[in-house]
């Protein structure tokens, strides 16, 4: 059973000439991070808001763990689903701790329980509790506010998180740090995350699968690798820059291109790379060191060898499909 299912979902706003969401059907596996990607106005936010019933579909059905969400009370539904929006949406008159405790209080947790939960969540998003719990949102940077927004969304321990361009207004460096944190949280907490973005790099970096929306329709729903190497149409091709070889190399793992050897302890080159590293990293080592080949390692073991030829072949393969 999928965590979230969309079955022929439409939403047409009153008076609008076209549906904002135009017949979406897909299944989202539990524990996956799905990035919804597409240009402004394609229906990303609308799709997301239907999942916690901030909007109701004009027709079609959305399922949460196999259950039609219309059969779940909206308030109960929203307690099961964390929601993070672009401008953090923190209550300005509440401290950081009070903001995070909103849902736990609704759930009638004891003071002791929600206070320790608040501190735990602040630590999880890298804000030392003793320093941050009593501040007001206006006393935080944009990136810190987003972290609190994420902590708040996690507070009731929801299995599903909806994140609508949570890092949209944040500078590139902080953004990367926050992306890393989301990836780590994802691995640690195994949430199902629907993450809206219109940044292709962000999508490639974060997603288990990318859902590409065009005018309210899903035009492709696939892994980053498949989206890049097998774009469904010209729109996807242009959107993700499938011609960009550097981007492809950054997504391909060394192990997909190397010549494998039986695990041993004999390096063929003084320069090494890990099997899970990207071909882009491998290329940069080869170019920087002038080495002919790299020894590919899995932990301490030698598992393969990688040359410039391998990288060239992999890039050709990606570009030709």
Ligand X SMILES: Nc1ncnc2c1ncn2[C@@H]1O[C@H](COP(=O)(O)OP(=O)(O)OP(=O)(O)O)[C@@H](O)[C@H]1O
Applying CB under 6 A, the residues found at the interface with ligand X are 13, 16, 20, 38, 40-46, 198
Going by C-beta distance under 8 Å and a sequence separation of 6 or more, which residues neighbour residue 152? 82, 84, 90, 99, 100, 102, 103, 121
User: CA-CA distances (angstroms) from residue 162 to 49, 51, 170, 271?
Assistant: 9, 8, 18, 42
Q: Give CA–CA dist 31/51, Å, rounded.
A: 16
* CA 46/CA 201 separation, integer angstroms: 22
Residues 157 and 165: their CA atoms lie apart, in Å, by: 21
Residue 230 binding result from ligand X, Mg ion, none, given CB thresholds of 5 to 8 Å by partner type? none
Query: What angle do the packed helices 279-289 and 308-320 form, to 10 degrees?
Result: 140
Shortest distance, position 57 Cβ to ligand X, whole Å? 13
Q: Is 145 near Mg ion (CB under 5 A)? A: no
If the CB atoms of residues 41 and 128 are measured against ligand X, the closer one turns out to be: 41
Q: Nearest residue to Mg ion, using CB?
A: 45
**Contact status, residue 194 vs residue 51, Cβ threshold 8 Å:** yes
43 binds, among Mg ion, ligand X, none (CB under 5 to 8 A by kind): ligand X
- End-to-end Cα spacing for the chain: 32
Q: In the bound complex, what is the minimum distance in angstroms from residue 36's beta carbon to ligand X?
A: 8
Q: Which is nearer to ligand X, 31 or 60 (CB)?
A: 60
Compose the 33-72 pattern: x for residues touching Mg ion by CB under 5 A, - for all others.
------------x---------------------------
Give whichever of 22 and 118 is closer to ligand X, judged by the CB atom.
22
Residue with tokens 């599903």: 160
CB 88 within 8 A of CB 163: no
Q: How many residues bind Mg ion (CB under 5 A)?
A: 1
**Residue 42 interface partner, choices Mg ion, ligand X, none, CB cut-off 5-8 Å depending on type:** ligand X
To ligand X, the closest distance from the beta carbon of 228 in angstroms equals 21
To which H or E segment does residue 204 belong? Answer: helix 200-206
Q: Are 112 and 102 in contact (CB under 8 A)?
A: no
Q: Which does 91 bind (CB under 5 to 8 A by kind): ligand X, Mg ion, none?
A: none
CB nearer to Mg ion: pick between 45 and 295: 45
Question: H/E element holding 285?
Answer: helix 279-289
Which of ligand X, Mg ion, none interacts with 117 (beta carbon under 5 to 8 A by kind)? none
Rg, C-alpha atoms of the chain: 22
Residue 152 contact, options ligand X, Mg ion, none, Cβ 5-8 Å cut-off depending on partner type: none
**Cβ at position 43, least distance to Mg ion in Å:** 9
In this structure, are strands 33-37 and 192-197 parallel, antiparallel, or unpaired? parallel
If the CB atoms of residues 49 and 209 are measured against ligand X, the closer one turns out to be 49
**Residue whose CB is less far from Mg ion, 45 or 95:** 45
Q: Which residues contact 272 (CB under 8 A, 6 or more apart)?
A: 294, 295, 296, 297
198 interacts with, out of ligand X, Mg ion, none, CB within 5 to 8 A per kind: ligand X
CB of 51 to Mg ion, least distance (A): 14
CB of 47 to Mg ion, least distance (A): 9
Residue 154 interacts, among Mg ion, ligand X, none and using kind-specific CB cut-offs from 5 to 8 Å, with: none
Residue ranges in contact with Mg ion by CB under 5 A: 45
């Amino acid at each position: 059973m999928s965590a979230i299912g969309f079955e022929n979902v439409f939403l047409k706003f009153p008076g609008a000439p076209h549906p904002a969401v135009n017949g979406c059907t897909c299944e989202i596996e539990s524990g996956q991070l799905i990035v919804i990607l597409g240009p402004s106005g394609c229906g990303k936010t609308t799709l997301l808001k239907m999942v916690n019933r901030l909007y109701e579909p004009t027709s079609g059905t959305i399922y949460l763990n196999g259950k039609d969400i219309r059969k779940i009370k909206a308030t109960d539904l929203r307690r099961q689903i964390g929601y993070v929006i672009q401008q953090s949406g923190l209550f300005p008159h509440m401290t950081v701790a009070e903001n995070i405790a909103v849902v736990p209080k609704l759930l009638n947790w004891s003071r002791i329980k929600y206070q320790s939960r608040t501190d735990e969540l602040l630590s999880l998003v890298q804000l030392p509790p003793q320093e941050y719990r009593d501040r007001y949102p206006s006393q935080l940077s944009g990136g810190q506010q987003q972290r609190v927004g994420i902590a708040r969304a996690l507070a009731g321990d929801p299995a599903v998180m909806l994140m609508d361009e949570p890092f949209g207004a944040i500078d590139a460096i902080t953004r990367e740090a926050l992306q890393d944190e989301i990836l780590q949280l994802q691995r640690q907490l195994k949430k199902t995350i629907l993450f809206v973005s219109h940044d292709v790099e962000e999508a490639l970096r974060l997603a288990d699968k990318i859902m590409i929306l065009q005018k309210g329709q899903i035009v492709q729903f696939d892994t980053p690798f498949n989206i890049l190497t097998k774009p469904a149409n010209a729109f996807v091709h242009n959107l993700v820059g499938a011609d960009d070889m550097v981007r492809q190399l950054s997504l391909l793992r060394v192990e997909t291109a190397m010549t494998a050897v039986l695990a041993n302890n004999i390096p063929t080159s003084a320069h090494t790379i890990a099997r899970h590293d990207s071909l882009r990293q491998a290329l940069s080592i080869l170019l920087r060191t002038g080495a002919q080949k790299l020894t590919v390692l899995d932990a301490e073991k030698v598992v393969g060898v990688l040359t410039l030829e391998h990288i060239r072949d992999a890039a050709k393969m990606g570009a030709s499909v």
